[in-house]
Amino acid sequence: MSERILLGHGGGGTLMQQLIDAELRPLLPDPAAPLHDAARLDLPHGRLAFSTDGYVVHPLEFPGGNIGRLAVVGTANDLAMAGARPLWLSLGLILEEGLELAVLRRLLAAVGQAAAECGVRVVTGDTKVVERGKADGAFLTTSGIGLRELEAPIDPAAISSGDQLVVSGDLGRHGIAILAARHGLALQPPLQSDCAPLWPLVQQLLRRGVRPHCLRDLTRGGLASALHELATAAGVELGIEEARIPVAAAVARSAELLGLEALQLANEGRFVAVVAPSDLEATLAVLEPLGGSWIGTVRQGPARVLLRTPFGSERLLVPPSGELLPRIC
């Protein structure tokens, strides 16, 4: 088979079958099973969560991951934010003519490794090939199904005054890693994306008896966007202690040098948890050893986010405007 993707690889003929058999079948739970138009799933009794997302990151490979890992982890994390254990994924690939097969193999190897880490199985998918210049190498789409572990929904409607906010780790690594890879910035020390599964942390919280009122992963727009979304959806004021927000020194320096706001930088392995005061201690017991931190409190008031500076004054945290860093996921 050619070592580059050809238009014929998406034409439904022999080349496409060779690509599926050689590169995609190994991702399936039973590679020898006959392929069909849909996967048959044995559903456990319970409540399901369903999510889908598209990935168009540039470059395809970056420090700490690639678009294949990102596509699996990103959708699995969306399920985790609903309190759902990820179970199954679909994988859709749009490949550009001329993509090196060696690159595709690295992306698919990352898909398999990330699926194993997340505890999910890739059970169905689709592949298309487009002309040169139409897909920037590869676009990926994943859809996921997970089993919700709690009957009560985990969403902004459950947020109430007095709730506490905790982030799961330091912020901004993914955004800076993508920026450095895209523009050839030799950061010292080098920064890697935080791209990682979140379900293991959510599962630990649930096993300790924590019942989160809301969970939100901090992807595009970072912590700033997530907090504004929560404040608006719940109609509450969020009082945030700026000094408590964990940002690695290398991220802070890079953001300052590039004129970026660290709280607006993307993450792919971090979330903010909104929990009742009675669950705060157990939440911190899980997250603090991994770099997590309490950052603030939900208060009655207008839907806004107020940052208390280290000097004791308060300022509005303004949501991101426009696209600060295109193609980060």
115-173 tens-digit pLDDT = 999 999 999 999 999 999 999 999 999 999 999 988 888 989 999 999 999 999 999 99
Q: Which of 305, 170, 299 is nearest to 227 (CA)?
A: 305
pLDDT tens readout for residues 239-262 = 999 999 999 998 998 888 888 889
Q: Show the tokens assigned to 245.
A: 């927000």
Query: How far does the chain reach from its first CA to its final CA, in angstroms?
Result: 30
Query: 0.85 cut: is pTM over it?
Result: yes
* pLDDT band of 184, cuts 50, 70, 90: confident
**CATH code for the structural domain at 156-316:** 3.90.650.10
pLDDT of residue 11: 67
Average pLDDT over residues 83-92: 95
Architecture of domain 7-148: 2-Layer Sandwich (3.30)
User: Residue 299 has what pLDDT?
Assistant: 97
Residue 30: its pLDDT value, please?
A: 87
CB-based contacts of 159: which residues, under 8 Å, 6+ apart? 213, 214, 230, 233, 234, 236, 274, 298
pLDDT band at residue 322, thresholds of 50, 70 and 90? low
- Residue 29 region by backbone torsions, left for phi larger than 0, else alpha for psi between -120 and 50, else beta: alpha
**Looking at residue 185, what is its pLDDT?**
82
Any idea where the domains of the chain sit in the sequence?
7-148, 156-316
55-59, 85-89, 109-113: lowest mean pLDDT where?
Answer: 55-59
Q: What is the pLDDT of residue 261?
A: 87
Answer yes or no: are the C-beta atoms of 238 and 160 closer than 8 Å.
no
Asked whether residue 218 carries a pLDDT value surpassing 90, the answer given is yes
Q: What is the pLDDT of residue 255?
A: 87
